[in-house]
Structure 1
Amino acid sequence: MSLKLIAVFLALIPLLCSSFSPETPSDRRVLVLLDDFAVKSSHSLFFNSLKSRGFDLHFHLADDPKIALQRYGQYLFDALILFSPTIERFGGSVDAAAILDFVDSGHDLIVAADSNASDLIREIATECGVDFDEDPAAMVVDHSGYAVSATEGDHTLIASDDFIKSDVILGSKKIEATFFSDFSGYMRQAPVLFQGIGHSVNPTNSLVLKVLSASPSAFSANPKSKVTSPPSLTGSSISLVSVIQARNNARILISGSLSMFSNRFFRSGVQKVGSPTKHEKSGNEQFLNELSKWVFHERGHLKAVNVQHHKVGEVNEPAIYRINDDLEYSVEVYEWSGTTWEPYVSDDVQVQFYMMSPYVLKTLSTDGKGRYFTSFKVPDVYGVFQFKVEYEKLGYTSISLSKQIPVRPFRHNEYERFIPAAYPYYGAAFSMVSISPIFFG
């Protein structure tokens, strides 16, 4: 082999080894596209959090002519962060279609827009299931939920605490709270600072979730001009931050504010208007760090292994079942904790014994160590059946298992010689035999 061929082979090794392995959802390569390299330092706390969790970040200007998401049919990165809200056209081989193909291939995406978001960023967001306000000068304004500051301004700096109620998405540890001694004495969460553009989600789209919503008093409009007509986005229907989990389990985070990821917002104190409490630190850092763990599959990522089925009393999987056989079914389900696979414990995992429609639907029992199991009788119907597990739960990757198995009827020599239900007929026959000599001599 020539030295040139050896050099080419060695150059291809990193590309062949960089593909995402579902066994280790962390330690991945992330491409970060920026409008300006200054964002790398102004948002360093967020980037450093990702690096500390084992992510390999690669920073490029969004219009860099050398950037590419794949080479030789292999994706070079496992996740993409777009911190380039003003970009009109990406460099290299990257465009909106390439980014959507990247997501369709099961990879994760974070998009941070802003009040001056380009048509390109809006197009990507729309294809992902959210729609930014069509007015290019619009921002979210809230005269009753803004953050108190030295210069009140136009009330576009919002302190929002309307979080999604999901531990798997935001973590079991709630957003940092500060206890204060007023008449209520309640523990209150530190609000998240937001300044940017709002978006709407289709309520019939179950794949899109609002994780941070505006208050009922908010609206989307140009803060520098007088509102002469009703705003297109108002109240709690405005989403500030949304997430999408695609059917292929790819995850997407879309934010209407790039500033909320900045060091300034991470370190800033926050006091919501009308609240007597001033938090020394906003909830931005914890909120976005916990949310990024979910987006990058460090939480809520499930896998199913060791699927088994066999007749009761046996251990080997048969090639075929007979009607009315008693069988046992089991599967093991684990959740990725960020470092190791931990047993996933729930009471809503079900299995179907399916042929055109489910003939058997059973909720699986669990031993608390990740193993789910049940037993049932094969229906008195023969044909080609499937064991199916279709598990979908808010915040978790979906599990879809299917295994085909034929079911046969009894053979001619397997039926019972005497059927209890036919005893009256047997009796009638024998009675006829016993009385026939009387009538026929």
Structure 2
Amino acid sequence: MGKLWVISIASIFILLPFLGNAFSPESPTDRRVLVLLDDSAIKSSHSIYFNSLKSRGFDLEFKLADDPKIALQRYGQYLYDALVLFCPSVERFGGSIDLAAILDFVDSGRDLIIAADSSASDLIREVGIECGVDFDEDPSAMVIDHIGYAVSETEGDHTLIASDDLIKSDVILGSKRIEAPILFRGIGHSLNPANNLVLKVLSASPSAYSANPKSKLSTPPSLTGSAISLVSIVQARNNARILITGSLSMFSNKFFRSGVQKAGEKTKHEKSGNEQFLTEISKWVFHERGHLKTVNVKHHKVGETDEPALYRINDELEYSVEIYEWSGKSWDPYVANDVQVQFYMMSPYVLKTMSHNKKGLYSTSFKVPDVYGVFQFKVEYQKLGYTSLSLSKQIPVRPYRHNEYERFIPAAYPYYGAAFSMMAGFFVFSFVHLYSK
């Protein structure tokens, strides 16, 4: 028994480093990231991107995708908070990782980056399908653009795309504008129309299409124009975030450092926009931006501070909540004019937009409706690029007691007046009728 006790204590101390670094909505930092590679050379050829993650406090662990020892869980606990798949050609993952394990990883609220290319395997394509995107079914297809290509030393190479068709969202791409076009060489994908959680971040131009660049077109291409997505993102309902792209090369040092000149344009940029684009979007994927939390949810009667166990119909009440956004280093007040609260029973009886003090505190006041039952305070906040907020709290609402009704109802004064005027009129009529000659 003594030996078993010592072994258990030792196991706990072994797991503490993993558990201590686990992602927490209260402090989304110091996160462990597993990077699966096709070839160990990718670690050096894409070192600028990896170093940018390390400089922001991420602990990267590199493994070959077919390593028989890799695992996402140990003793029922996840060892990592994010997974990066830089292994487009892998046919089968090693260890205990498979398609189901990756989906469970995302279902647990953790993040995922998928980078494919023209050698994408069926396994990577299946992962993409589960995330809401469909890569071109032709295994030899690449995105081609005879107008929006990047001018290069290789004449006629129109598979090197220079794209600047970006999503307009500061929370996803940062407030600083990306001036230079982004270099892309790889396969395109389309979005599943039935999945409203997936968004295009970088789109192809209207002149682009997906086909085999080494053969002539015999049939119309399946993907054309702006319907081709080069980079897409997903924010799941549990706030897990996914980045999907059809180009592993766009993360490479070569593309980061390359100058770029878009065909038909005179301006030549000394450096492509890849580094800025992928750095900023990785901040979003890893919850360094657009991550919200709520604290101090309160409600009480106007003029009071204590939260009651129930309300009475027609009571005046106040509701407040504090909302903060993670900046990568600290929690800052979140400022917006579209946060609403519902007073809900089967349907919202009250819907109020809350005002804020620019310090994170949102509040409003309203009258309890003249309906009794079990209500809910509900805040359902969803905004592009931000984690969704869902707050609810039940509260009963009772009717007036028998001794709480007004003795004389002001609305009934006309009826009181009519009754007394009738009585007075009858008295006058009777008096005149009896004593008149």
TM-score, normalised with respect to structure 2? 0.95
Do residues 218 (structure 1) and 208 (structure 2) align? yes
Do residues 129 (structure 1) and 119 (structure 2) align? no
- Asked if structure 2 preserves the Cα contact closer than 8 Å seen for 1:19 and 1:74, the reply is no
The CA RMSD measured in Å over matched residues stands at 1.6
Identity %: 79
The aligned counterpart of 1:408 is: 398
Aligned equivalents of 1:163, 1:427: Cα separation in 2: 72
Do residues 46 (structure 1) and 49 (structure 2) align? yes
- Asked if structure 2 preserves the Cα contact closer than 8 Å seen for 1:139 and 1:197, the reply is yes
Aligned equivalents of 2:263, 2:271: Cα separation in 1: 16
**AA aligned opposite 1:133:** D
**AA aligned opposite 1:111:** I
Do residues 268 (structure 1) and 258 (structure 2) align? yes
The aligned counterpart of 1:8 is: 11
* Aligned pairs for 1:377-388 within 5 A: 377-388=367-378
* Aligned pairs for 1:348-427 within 5 A: 348-427=338-417
Do residues 109 (structure 1) and 112 (structure 2) align? yes
The aligned counterpart of 2:335 is: 345
The aligned counterpart of 1:158 is: 161
The runs of 5 or more residues in structure 2 that have no matched partner are none
Residue 374 of structure 1 aligns to a residue in which SS? Answer: strand
**AA aligned opposite 2:222:** S
Shift of 1:437: 11
Shift of 1:433: 5.7
Residue 60 of structure 2 aligns to a residue in which SS? Answer: strand
The aligned counterpart of 1:193 is: 183
C-alpha change, 1:5 and 1:344, in structure 2 (3 Å) is closer
- Asked if structure 1 preserves the Cα contact closer than 8 Å seen for 2:22 and 2:32, the reply is no
Residue 201 of structure 2 aligns to a residue in which SS? Answer: strand
- Asked if structure 2 preserves the Cα contact closer than 8 Å seen for 1:161 and 1:190, the reply is yes
* Aligned pairs for 1:422-437 within 5 A: 422-431=412-421, 435=426
Aligned equivalents of 2:25, 2:16: Cα separation in 1: 20
Do residues 310 (structure 1) and 313 (structure 2) align? no
Aligned equivalents of 2:65, 2:162: Cα separation in 1: 30
Shift of 1:420: 1.4
- Asked if structure 2 preserves the Cα contact closer than 8 Å seen for 1:266 and 1:283, the reply is yes
Shift of 1:432: 5.8
**AA aligned opposite 1:165:** K
Aligned equivalents of 1:153, 1:91: Cα separation in 2: 40
Shift of 1:429: 4.0
Aligned equivalents of 1:96, 1:415: Cα separation in 2: 65
Q: 1:119 aligns with which of 87, 107, 122?
A: 122
* Aligned pairs for 1:46-65 within 5 A: 46-65=49-68
Shift of 1:27: 1.1
Do residues 149 (structure 1) and 139 (structure 2) align? no
Q: 1:250 aligns with which of 234, 240, 259?
A: 240
Residue 118 of structure 2 aligns to a residue in which SS? Answer: coil
- Asked if structure 2 preserves the Cα contact closer than 8 Å seen for 1:33 and 1:62, the reply is yes
Residue 270 of structure 1 aligns to a residue in which SS? Answer: coil
C-alpha change, 1:321 and 1:35, in structure 2 (3 Å) is same
Residue 168 of structure 1 aligns to a residue in which SS? Answer: helix
- Asked if structure 2 preserves the Cα contact closer than 8 Å seen for 1:300 and 1:335, the reply is yes
Shift of 1:202: 3.0
Aligned equivalents of 2:318, 2:263: Cα separation in 1: 60
The runs of 5 or more residues in structure 1 that have no matched partner are 176-188
Shift of 1:422: 1.4
Residue 153 of structure 2 aligns to a residue in which SS? Answer: coil
Greater C-alpha Rg = 2
The aligned counterpart of 1:286 is: 276
